[in-house]
Amino acid sequence: MSLLVRFDPWHSSLCTCPPKLTFNPYTGCDHRCVYCYASSYVPRFFECRPKKDLLLRLRREAIKLKGELISISNSSDPYPTVEAEAGLTRRCLQILAECNCQIQIITKSNIVLRDMDLLKRASSMVALTITTDDAETAKALEPYAPPPEERLKTAERLAAEGIPVVIRIDPIIPYVNENPEFLVRAAAEIGVRHITASTYKVKMDNWQRLSLAMPKIAEKLKPLYFEKGEKMARYLYLPKGLRIRLLENLAKLAKKYGLKFATCREGLKGLNTATCDGSWLIKGRS
């Protein structure tokens, strides 16, 4: 089985990403986000373990590539706690850089700063997920991920080194983080140029975790998803009118602070002002 696969999340037209390949250096993730989607299809998801024969397989496959965009990673974080010691993602980046690939990192972790030397030399970008600037809310939602302040500092350092940075405000959850103006303004001030946002989609396992972590919020969300919501690609979405209101608000905030904006898996392409995943920021692509 190939390690590198075509990025095709949920096998649906809801994804507006440009053609790219993806792989996960690790199976599972120890950030334990309550809203995580990958935990619904990967067994023992919160036990993070390296992919079998990772470097061998990547070397074998990467040598055949011709400068493709490689997104790392979409069903786990490429910088779980163990990566600080293990350095597997770093070795993957070395292989991909040697093969002249374009690299897109998606992470919540400041460990990415360790690899700035490689990212600077390659054609690359980093998407940092920051759901909220409120540390307490972040602790409830993403208990083992670095706090938002640290993630913002990470974004600032990457941008200062000339590595393009996108902030993903993902997921947007009503009553929790629906009006993140402070975060958008802070992003603009530190040199971020693009925001991607997406609303929370219910799967039964993430709903159970969210209900335990935020019982009062879950009570308010219940009718929005289970009575008025719509089912798309096996996920429960908020009612369309509400999603449009939430994401239009984000689009306006991005415009106000001079940032490009895109939605992710919403079927609302009309709100996008740039390629949804921010890959347009990679040198030579725009």
Which residues of the shown chain bind ligand SF4 in the complex (CB under 6 A)?
A: 29, 31-33, 36, 38, 76-77, 108
Beta-bridge partner residues of 81: none
What the block records as the tokens of 26 is 């690790």
Q: At closest approach, how far in Å is the CB of 26 from ligand SF4? A: 9
Residue closer to ligand SF4 by CB (options 26, 251) is 26
**C-alpha closest to that of 197 among 260, 153, 112:** 260
Ramachandran angles phi, psi of 167, nearest 5°: -105, 130
Residue closer to ligand SF4 by CB (options 76, 263) is 76
Residue closer to ligand SF4 by CB (options 38, 122) is 38
Name 122's Cβ contacts closer than 8 Å, sequence gap at least 6.
93, 96, 97, 101, 102, 103
Residues 286, 275: Cα–Cα separation, whole Å: 9
Q: At closest approach, how far in Å is the CB of 37 from ligand SF4? A: 7
Q: How far is CA 157 from CA 102, 162, 185, 186, 217, in A?
A: 20, 9, 17, 13, 34
What the block records as the tokens of 121 is 């030399």
Q: At closest approach, how far in Å is the CB of 108 from ligand SF4? A: 5
Residues constituting the chain: 286
Residue closer to ligand SF4 by CB (options 36, 282) is 36
Q: At closest approach, how far in Å is the CB of 81 from ligand SF4? A: 11
Residue closer to ligand SF4 by CB (options 106, 187) is 106
Q: At closest approach, how far in Å is the CB of 150 from ligand SF4? A: 14
Residue closer to ligand SF4 by CB (options 56, 212) is 212
Q: Is 192 helix (H, G, I), strand (E, B) or coil?
A: coil
Q: At closest approach, how far in Å is the CB of 231 from ligand SF4? A: 21
Ramachandran angles phi, psi of 247, nearest 5°: -80, -30
Q: At closest approach, how far in Å is the CB of 272 from ligand SF4? A: 22
Cβ neighbourhood burial of 244 (10 Å; 0-12, 13-18, 19+)? middle
Residue closer to ligand SF4 by CB (options 77, 83) is 77
